[in-house]
């Protein structure tokens, strides 16, 4: 992998960042600085990841929060470990109860789609297993940002304003009182904070301090847990104290596929990372792609459509899946699916291998440790529920559950739902290359596939690989492309039957980061998105 390559046919927004002692890449400069601060205080890549993740709940609340979920891939002592910190559905929540209320599908907002938040448990579990510093030390930068305030950045201001409009409208609707605390917290003056305006959240700071002082216990069986459960009970929600007490993270074996000599690693289901791997498995059945070529982009899109057809049909809580991940990732099945790709766009159904609002961060330290970490509330601010007096905004991950008993993601008590958030990691012959990720709902596996190909097939450096124009399959044969996509490619895709929309901006095409290092080298090379307020900081 030519991670130092400067080959790039389009104008790049940034240069790749180089360093040796440590590096942090994420979507907010202040959060990246929090991670670097911890590295310089003697923390390792895991400590830096925790600090960055906690800071992101403060400085980018439009995409994640303390009440969200998280996954991590950790390269430590020459081994890759996986952490699934997504929460289960409440024990009292089931389809029959919701149908009795007249519901025919999972609501998008409010208490009903709230599952057990896992992010604080991820921080605590990572710190307990590998941290050099205490959890409270790792959370201190985030606590200071929340207590003292910070100036709102451009992308953050734009997304915050949209969210205030949305939740103000929901509050105005009959029964919308549950959103009042969100408005009190995030729009106390009746509006979103403006670009450059200072924002502070003392309740958020107090909550982070409690989590740090108790190694996360306050959130699941202490003072914060009591407030969450009481707020749920008062609003008629289903999340109970017992659900919080029973929550446990799960250490998992990463799933991977070898793509042209490199292992692309993802978290196994309930995450959608396997969709990226299935797409790459299909594409490796063809000759290596040529850069800036319409035919290879056509194949990418068709491969991703095939992968989504299978992923959306089969992926759910791994304990409830009807097929094994290895079956979906087998070479035999990938070859079978690849044969369905022709020179024209098609609408694909799932196959049968037997006969799916987020922040991402990457960290690295001078000892060779690396972390790929993703954290999300889903749909921006999540459910629109804030627990009074805590600053805790809760996710709405349960929205992806189905009411169809034949669907893999059928709603059941104590079940993990299909998750869109996915961290990625690349290795080569057992050695770490590094963490990468692209956040943004169902764009995430599409972004993983495109960035991986940019790095491996086209030999772009991390920054160039992230800056390259992207496509996004929407549904059917509808594909959106970024405004900088070359016109000859757009025209050629249309001739192949793709319904192409050239988007007016790049806001829906994901936001990613990457930190890579060639085996045997001490030099770290990092990239971050030109599509957001991101930063790579090294020292």
How many whole angstroms separate alpha carbon 421 and alpha carbon 414?
20
Is 358 catalytic? The answer is yes
Collect all residues with Cβ–Cβ distance below 8 Å to 212 and sequence separation of at least 6.
134, 135, 136, 137, 138, 139, 140, 143
The answer to whether residues 517 and 364 touch, using CB atoms and an 8 Å cutoff, is yes
For the record, the structure tokens of 534 come out as 């991101």
Give bridge partners of residue 521 from the DSSP assignment: none
The distance from CA 315 to its chain's CA centroid, rounded to whole angstroms, is 16
The catalytically annotated residue of 358, 363, 400, 417 is 358
Lookup result for tokens 């766009």: 345
Dihedral angle computed from the Cα positions of residues 14, 18, 21 and 27, in that order, rounded to the nearest 10 degrees: 20
Q: What angle do CA 70, 75, 80 make, to 5 degrees?
A: 85
Collect all residues with Cβ–Cβ distance below 8 Å to 182 and sequence separation of at least 6.
167, 381, 384, 385, 386, 393
How many whole angstroms separate alpha carbon 257 and alpha carbon 433?
15
How many whole angstroms separate alpha carbon 321 and alpha carbon 334?
19
Do the bridges between strand 524-528 and strand 511-516 make them parallel or antiparallel, or are there none, so unpaired?
Answer: antiparallel
- Catalytic center residues: 358
């Amino acid at each position: 992998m030519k991670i130092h390559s400067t080959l790039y046919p389009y104008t790049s927004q940034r240069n790749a960042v180089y360093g040796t002692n440590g590096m942090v890449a994420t979507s907010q400069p202040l959060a990246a600085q929090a991670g670097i601060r911890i590295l310089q205080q003697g923390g390792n890549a895991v400590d830096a990841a925790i600090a960055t993740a906690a800071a992101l709940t403060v400085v980018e609340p439009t995409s994640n929060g303390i009440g969200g979920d998280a996954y991590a891939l950790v390269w430590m002592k020459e081994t890759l470990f996986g952490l699934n910190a997504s929460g289960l559905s409440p024990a009292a929540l089931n389809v029959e109860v919701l149908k009795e209320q007249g519901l025919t599908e999972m609501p998008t907002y409010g208490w009903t789609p709230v599952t057990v938040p896992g992010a604080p448990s991820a921080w605590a579990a990572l710190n307990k297993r590998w941290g050099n510093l205490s959890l409270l030390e790792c959370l201190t930068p985030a606590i200071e940002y929340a207590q003292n305030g910070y100036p709102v950045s451009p992308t953050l201001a734009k997304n915050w304003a949209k969210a205030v409009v949305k939740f103000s409208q929901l509050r105005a609707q009959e029964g919308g009182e549950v959103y009042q605390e969100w408005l009190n917290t995030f729009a106390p003056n009746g509006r979103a904070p403006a670009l450059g305006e200072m924002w502070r959240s003392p309740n958020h700071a107090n909550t982070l301090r409690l989590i740090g002082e108790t190694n996360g216990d306050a959130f699941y069986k202490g003072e914060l847990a009591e407030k969450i459960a009481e707020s749920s009970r008062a609003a008629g929600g289903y999340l109970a104290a017992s659900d919080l007490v029973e929550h446990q993270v799960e250490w998992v074996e990463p799933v991977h596929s070898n793509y042209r000599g490199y292992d692309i690693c993802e978290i196994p289901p309930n995450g959608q990372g396997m969709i990226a791997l299935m797409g790459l498995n299909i594409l490796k059945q063809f000759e290596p792609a040529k850069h800036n070529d319409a035919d290879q982009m056509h194949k990418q899109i068709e491969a991703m459509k095939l992968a989504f057809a299978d992923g959306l049909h089969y992926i759910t809580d791994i304990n409830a899946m009807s097929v094994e991940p290895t079956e979906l990732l087998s070479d035999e099945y990938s070859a079978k699916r690849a044969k369905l790709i022709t020179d024209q766009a098609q609408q694909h159904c799932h196959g049968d291998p037997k006969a799916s609002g987020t922040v991402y961060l990457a960290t690295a330290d001078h000892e060779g440790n690396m972390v790929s970490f993703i954290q999300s509330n889903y749909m921006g601010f999540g459910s629109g529920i804030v627990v009074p007096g805590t600053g805790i905004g809760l996710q709405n991950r349960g929205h992806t559950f189905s009411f169809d008993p034949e669907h893999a993601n059928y709603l059941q008590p104590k079940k993990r739902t299909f998750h869109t958030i996915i961290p990625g990691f690349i290795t080569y012959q057992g050695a770490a290359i590094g963490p990468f990720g692209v956040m943004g709902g169902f764009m995430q596996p599409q972004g993983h596939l495109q960035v991986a190909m940019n790095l491996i097939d086209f030999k772009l450096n991390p920054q160039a690989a992230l800056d390259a124009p992207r496509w996004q399959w929407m549904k059917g044969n509808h594909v959106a492309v970024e405004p900088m996509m070359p016109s000859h490619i757009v025209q050629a895709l249309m001739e192949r039957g793709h319904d192409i929309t050239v988007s007016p901006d790049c806001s829906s095409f994901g936001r990613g980061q990457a930190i890579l290092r060639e085996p045997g080298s001490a030099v770290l090379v990092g990239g971050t998105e030109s599509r957001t307020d991101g930063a790579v900081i090294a020292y």
